[in-house]
C-alpha cells in the first residue's frame, strides 16, 4: 500500500495565510481598542490624591493615666495626660522630620537621627532642631473620645481639661 501525500494547492495555502493575517489584524485591533479604553478611563477619572483625614480618634480619656505619654506611631502624635489636663504633640522632629521617641527613664522625647531632645511639653532642650514640637488641636467628641487634628496647631500649654 502506498500512502498518498497530499500537498495543498497554491489556492488553499493562500486561504490559510489570509485567515492568519485576518486573525492577526483582529487581534491587533482588539489590543488597540483595549489600550484606548484604558487611556479613556484614566482620562475621565478624577486626578485627585486621596489622603487620610488629619483628624485622629485617640479613644477614651480613661485609657491614659495621669503622667502618661503615649505615642501613636500610625498618626505620629503623642497624647500626654498631666495633672493640668490632656494635650497632644506632633511626634515628627522639627529638624529633618524623623519620628521621635519617648524616653520614660529620662522623662524626655528624643530624636534618634541627630540627637535633638525635647521636654514632655515639646520644648527643645538640645540638638539641632530649630523649633519645639507643635501642640495639636485636641478636643472631646460628642461620644466622649479624645480627638486630635494633626493639621491644626495651638499655643503651648492650652490643656484640654475634662
Near ligand FES by CB under 6 A: residue from 59, 61, 85, 128: 128
Question: Rule CB under 6 A: is residue 15 a binding residue for ligand FES?
Answer: no
Q: Which is nearer to ligand FES, 20 or 101 (CB)?
A: 101
Q: Which of these ranges, 9-17, 23-31, 126-134, 140-148, lies near ligand FES under the rule CB under 6 A?
A: 126-134
CB of 140 to ligand FES, least distance (A): 31
Binding map of ligand FES across residues 129-148, x = CB under 6 A, - = no contact: x-------------------
Where is 85: in which H helix or E strand? strand 85-90
CB of 94 to ligand FES, least distance (A): 7
CB of 77 to ligand FES, least distance (A): 16
- Evaluate whether 22 touches 108 at the Cβ level (below 8 Å): no
Helices (H) and strands (E) in the chain, counts: 1, 10
Q: Which three cell numbers stand for residue 28?
A: 491587533
75 Cβ partners below 8 Å, 6+ apart? 56, 148, 150
Of the candidates 75, 108, 68, the residue with the CA atom closest to the CA atom of residue 92 = 75
Question: Rule CB under 6 A: is residue 116 a binding residue for ligand FES?
Answer: yes
Amino acid at each position: 500500500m502506498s500512502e498518498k501525500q497530499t500537498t495543498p494547492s497554491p489556492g488553499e495555502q493562500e486561504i490559510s495565510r489570509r485567515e492568519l493575517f485576518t486573525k492577526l489584524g483582529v487581534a491587533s485591533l482588539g489590543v488597540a481598542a483595549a489600550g484606548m479604553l484604558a487611556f479613556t478611563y484614566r482620562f475621565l477619572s478624577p486626578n485627585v490624591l486621596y489622603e487620610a483625614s488629619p483628624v485622629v480618634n485617640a479613644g477614651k480619656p480613661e485609657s491614659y493615666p495621669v503622667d502618661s505619654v503615649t505615642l501613636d506611631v500610625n498618626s505620629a502624635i503623642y497624647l500626654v495626660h498631666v495633672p493640668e489636663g490632656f494635650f497632644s504633640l506632633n511626634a515628627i522632629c522639627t529638624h529633618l522630620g524623623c519620628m521621635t521617641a519617648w524616653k520614660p527613664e529620662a522623662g524626655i522625647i528624643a530624636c534618634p537621627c541627630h540627637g535633638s531632645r525635647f521636654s514632655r511639653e515639646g520644648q527643645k532642650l538640645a540638638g539641632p532642631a530649630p523649633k519645639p514640637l507643635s501642640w495639636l488641636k485636641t478636643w472631646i467628641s460628642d461620644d466622649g473620645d479624645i480627638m486630635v487634628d494633626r493639621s491644626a496647631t495651638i499655643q503651648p500649654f492650652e490643656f484640654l481639661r475634662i
